[in-house]
Amino acid sequence: MENTEYPLTDRDYSWLSFNNRVLLEAADPAVPVYERIKFLAIYSSNLDEFFRVRVAALRSIVDIDKEKINRKFTLPPAELLEKILKEVNRQQEEFGRIKRDRIIPELKENGIYLYRDEPVKPAHNEFVDHYFKSKVLSHLQPVMMTSATEEPYLDNRALYLMVDMEDDQGDRHFAHLNIPSDVLPRFIELPRDDQFYYYIALDDVIRENLDFIFPGYTIKDSYSIKLNRDADLNIDDEFSGNLVKKIRKQITKRNLGVPSRFLYDLRMPDYLLQYLANAFHLKEDDLVAGGRYHNMNDLFELPNPLSPSLENETLPVLRIPELDSRSVREVMEEKDMMLHFPYQTYDYVLRYFNEAAFDPDVTEIKATFYRIAPESFVSSSLITAARNGKKVTVFVEIKARFDEANNLKWAEKMESAGIKIIYSIPGLKVHAKVALITRKTEGKEKNYAYFGTGNFNEKTAEIYADEALLTTSEKLSGELSSLFDYLEDDRRVFDFSHLLISQFNITDRFGSMIENEIENARAGKEARIVLKLNNIEDPKMIRRLYDAARAGVKVELIIRAICCILPEENLTIRRIVDRYLEHSRVYYFHNGGEQKIYMGSSDWMRRNLYRRIEVVFPVEELSMRRQVIEMIDLQLQDNVKATFIDSESKNIRVQNNLPPLRSQVAFHAYLSDLHS
């Protein structure tokens, strides 16, 4: 191979480009204002997790001897951290401008008044006073900060007011005070008048009553603060001892992690900021200036008194008549089915499990769980199946970040009902989204397999755009059965010919399909690769895509979030952010006109390809291939919600003279016509 340069951008900086794309949606005047508010909330929630995990990890690396660093960086870690924080500050300023200059005025134009940094009107004083004393006061925990205070503590991600005050001798005192948004609404509705619906933040209700909380002091001012801590679980050794116990222990320590971001009100004076930095042992890089209000993911809670006005027009959830008129099993015995969420109802997945739980001929059910819904109907169905005498085996990934406690809770409930629970494999995460039902009639066994791109989670299925295949294919279900055997005993060796599974054949098979396109291009044939992924970061696969594009293969990427590859001739990159979170993975290879189409759970990141169990499945039935191709074609034509990613990882709006095409709305219309 020629010594060719393969440009890469850093994964964390690339992720900031994705979050900036979310912010662009919040700024778009064509988007209804309450949807724009939701995008502000999504942006804030995303950034919060980014600091808890990625920035925390990067800061720890900055302090490590460079000889001990395993990860490769596009820039020295300290320089990269500086670049990231600079971009975050720029985005945070833009966030404030959008909220202050666009969202708040537009709400006011529509008769919705949101108090912000202003005294309460006389007409609302009595209500605010009563609400504070009857609802808020009992939840407050004011803490005076003095030189005698030992190890002051702030809860991870919790909201606080830092109060600056003087006593009657003129001496200055500081206190911090929790904002109990974990038990009370963040936004409180006030009595309306003929002109406006009024809402006030819980923060401001407390600010209005600081004199009551701290009698005998003169309140000089108050400032919102929030501390993010390193939230990653640090399991030093997964291969010995009880992994479940180790994870439980680490979960309890999550709120004790080292600081990764101290967010403070930009108005805070230097003397108070320095006092806090000393009190909480903060470094300069930990200090991030923000606005008057933090935890803006709470904007999800802002009521809309005019609903459904000021929101997206509802796309009705679609149903499939043949699945409504017969059992899922009967339809699967006749033909394979492909499901598209959230366009089509998730009821069919629940019925897949529910029908099996009560079917007297079903003998066994197996499934993998990565992120379980808090109130999981799927888990409840499996519990029912076990109680009805079925043999049920469930692999529960207890290392799914931020879902460890909920997954453990459900694992224990299922285990107590007689379900065989297999926990995490040391050194690996099982990210596959698969299930297998075995039914025995007249002495013959038949398998009913489920392959998905998204979790068995009915809550996220309402907003994540994912696909699933229901099939009785013997070659696919047989290999899936072998995978479950591996999960129960990872010492056994299996050969997979049809499924692409990380740890076995996934990189080799993808590599050979890319090489095939390269050979076709060099032979003067049409050659094309289309990949729809959440993230692409693995340098080996990226190099292969660069090689393909440089050989004349048309490479078209649709990447939602992390994108470490950069565009060049024959290689374009799009990003789509709309009402649903694009989550499915699709792998399309032209293959000389006999297209190969795969779908599955695996992104092209090192963690997916080398440190997880992922399942990628072929789409072979003609009608289903058409559905997938239609979805991809619409996304490649999107000129409303799509952006190109340029060589600096910036989002450039797709602009052309074609009629407007919004791919998610267009795909909903396509599916509606398909089953009408």
Catalytic residue positions, numbered: 431
Distance CA 177, CA 29 (A): 37
Distance CA 518, CA 615 (A): 25
What is the DSSP code (8-state) at residue 568?
B
What is the DSSP code (8-state) at residue 297?
G
CA-wise closest residue to 553 among 586, 585, 591: 591
* Angle at 659 (CA atoms; ends 653, 663), nearest 5 degrees: 65
End-to-end CA distance of the chain: 53
Burial 622-660 (b: 16+ CB within 10 A, else e): eebbebbbebbebbbbbbbbbbebeeebebeebeeeeee
Number of Cβ within a 10 Å radius of residue 512: 11
Q: Bin 241: left if φ > 0, else alpha if -120 < ψ < 50, else beta.
A: left
User: What is the length of the chain?
Assistant: 676
DSSP one-letter string for 465-525:
EEEEEEE--HHHHHHHHHHHHHHH-TTS----SSSEETTTTHHHHHHHHHHHHHHHHHTT-
Q: Where in 372-416 does DSSP place strands (E)?
A: 391-396
* Angle at 596 (CA atoms; ends 590, 601), nearest 5 degrees: 120
User: Prior bond to 32 cis, omega within 30?
Assistant: no
Evaluate whether 272 touches 246 at the Cβ level (below 8 Å): no
Residue bearing tokens 């398998």: 447
Q: Looking at the DSSP assignment, which residues form a beta bridge with residue 664?
A: none
Backbone angles phi, psi at 466, to 5 degrees: -135, 165
Q: Looking at the DSSP assignment, which residues form a beta bridge with residue 528?
A: 554
Q: Which residues contact 208 (CB under 8 A, 6 or more apart)?
A: 120, 128, 129, 132
Number of Cβ within a 10 Å radius of residue 42: 21
Evaluate whether 74 touches 3 at the Cβ level (below 8 Å): no
Number of Cβ within a 10 Å radius of residue 40: 23
Query: Residue 288 in 3-state DSSP?
Result: strand
Evaluate whether 471 touches 336 at the Cβ level (below 8 Å): yes
Number of Cβ within a 10 Å radius of residue 147: 5
Q: Which residues contact 434 (CB under 8 A, 6 or more apart)?
A: 367, 368, 449, 450, 451, 452, 480, 483, 615
Evaluate whether 24 touches 14 at the Cβ level (below 8 Å): no
CA-wise closest residue to 39 among 601, 640, 402, 30: 30
What is the DSSP code (8-state) at residue 314?
P
Distance CA 366, CA 483 (A): 11
Distance CA 357, CA 435 (A): 13
